[in-house]
Structure 1
């Protein structure tokens, strides 16, 4: 896993970072907790500038929020509930989950987008209730940009500050990241198998 991420970055440069972060938001095959620290480490070797690394990660991640935002905006609350009712097993999301997310967004408003972008697993899903609530695109992008920048910068700087020490632990990064991916896939399959359709 770590070797694949590094290959993407070395071959495609900043675009590779942005692409990986985009994919991480649309469907998280590789966690940002692996992508950005590794990108920060590559910056210490002179492969890329740390500010370019942070900018590429932020932009890629921000673009990754838009499909979910427009999904919520296009279908609205009732449409997303129907989607969850029809395909909830594969989305592992029930109509009541949609209601709960919408209620949280209504209570906390704009701050829920900013703070949500700083919380693993919530980072992507927070875009859906924002779209459902018809949050203005400009406002959504503003608060998402702030939260996304803080998240990507913190991860990239962690890898950057580790510097050469990263080479000491990188042998452990690949098996750990692979284990995380297996756990995520296993959890998804568990949710699919145990999912119970709600009565409507």
Structure 2
């Protein structure tokens, strides 16, 4: 990801906004490399920890709003059409989708907040928020707060480690693997439950 570090070095805060925006739209660009390096930059020049975290959070919010727009454009009507047509193969019914909407309506803000601190999910959670038309103001507020926490941790670690900032990516990759394993096990348990329920 040399090009990301070059952009941040060349353009400072605007470069950080741009790189973090792109990182949110394309999850394969790892924040565990981008943000610790930005933190390292605070030890080498005129950038401040507050300024870097603020720039990274602005980029995160802009990327999240763009993905929210994708979900909004796709729309719930298309989701219901897919479920009506292919639901029996996916073991999903319209009632399931409705319950998901109700759940998101009640707990969506907290889901957005906590998912902003989970690799991969921190980007993808914006799409269902758009699908169910979550209140935009609340979406932006909880996205900003959750993103600021995640950014502060990674930027702070990068600043603390200095020239060895790249060690952060190792720790975050372990955290990411654990989270993904838990999510996969949860999804497998849910599918097994649904299949057993259908047989009964």
TM-score for both structures, normalised by structure 2: 0.69
Write the mapping of 1:34-183 to structure 2, written as runs, cut at 5 A.
34-80=33-79, 99=97, 102=101, 105-106=104-105, 108-166=107-165
The alignment yields a C-alpha RMSD, in angstroms, of 3.1
Give the length in aligned residue pairs: 163
Q: What SS does the corresponding residue of 1:118 show, helix, strand or coil?
A: coil
> How far apart, CA to CA, are the structure 1 residues paired with 2:126 and 2:69?
8
Asked if 1:6 is matched to 2:5, the reply is yes
CA 37–76 in structure 1, closer or farther in 2 if over 3 Å, else same: same
Cα displacement string for residues 163-198 of structure 1 (whole angstroms, at most 9, x for unaligned residues): 2443xx57x97xxx9xxxxxxxxxxxxxxxxxxxxx
The 3-state SS of whatever aligns with 1:58 is helix
What secondary structure, in the 3-state scheme, does the structure 1 residue paired with 2:59 have? helix
In 2, are the aligned partners of 1:84 and 1:95 still within 8 Å (CA)?
Answer: no
In the TM superposition, what whole-angstrom CA distance separates every residue of 1:124-148 from its partner, at most 9, and x where no partner exists?
1111121122211111101111101
Contact 1:114 1:143 in 2 (8 A): yes
Which sections of structure 2, spanning at least 5 residues, go unmatched? 85-89, 174-200
Runs of 4 or more consecutive aligned structure 1 residues displaced over 6 Å after TM superposition: none
CA distance in 1, matches of 2:101, 2:91: 11
